[in-house]
Amino acid sequence: MKVSVFVGTSVDGFIARPNGALDFLPPGGGEPHGYNEFIATVDAILIGRKTFETVLAMNEWPYGDKRVIVLSTRPIDLSAAKGAVEQMAGFPADVVSQLAACGVQHIYVDGGITIQGFLRAGLVQRLVITRVPVLIGDGIPLFGSLSRDIPLRHVATRGYPSGLVQSEYEVAA
């Protein structure tokens, strides 16, 4: 089972403003920077409830026809979803085990709290972080506190004409 993160941040490390707004990100994701190629390799997407609510408000459903699992212990109205969406609850390792048992081979984890939980649980193998050339000063950080270091191995860094800078890492341990 492979678990990956593909996320955009401000240069100062925020994935959203304090109110969850993503207005600092380039419209439509900006120029092509590998998202379509990445999402084509994914079997399922795991997101938290807040990320789900944010995505529902977008003009375009960013996950295509991929299986989307919203992680939440509270009931969620999935009727407004624009794709194949279901709800699960549980510890990250249990969720990964359940999905592996269903034949899922590559999971894309999205959303701050969800990413942080899967990193803390030692389940993420790959991080692709695209920095948008803006400082927003405050917001929802990509990374929260950790009880231990998580060593990373740098794979590649790419720059784009708009100023996007994308770095790819593998979790080394």
Give the model's confidence band at 171: pLDDT under 50 very low, under 70 low, under 90 confident, else very high.
Answer: very high
pLDDT score recorded for residue 29 = 78
Distance between CA 65 and CA 82 in Å, rounded? 9
The CATH code of domain 2-171 reads 3.40.430.10
Residue 144 has pLDDT above 90, yes or no: no
Predicted TM-score of the model (pTM): 0.93
Contact 141, 15 (CB under 8 A): yes
| Token pair recorded at residue 155 | 């794979």
- DSSP letter at 141 equals E
Residue 36 makes CB contacts below 8 A (sequence gap 6+) with: none
Phi/psi of residue 128, nearest 5 degrees = -120, 110
Statement: residue 146 has pLDDT above 90: no
> Using one digit for the tens of pLDDT, what is the confidence trace for 49-89?
999 998 888 888 888 889 999 999 999 988 888 878 999 99
How much is the pLDDT for 128? 98
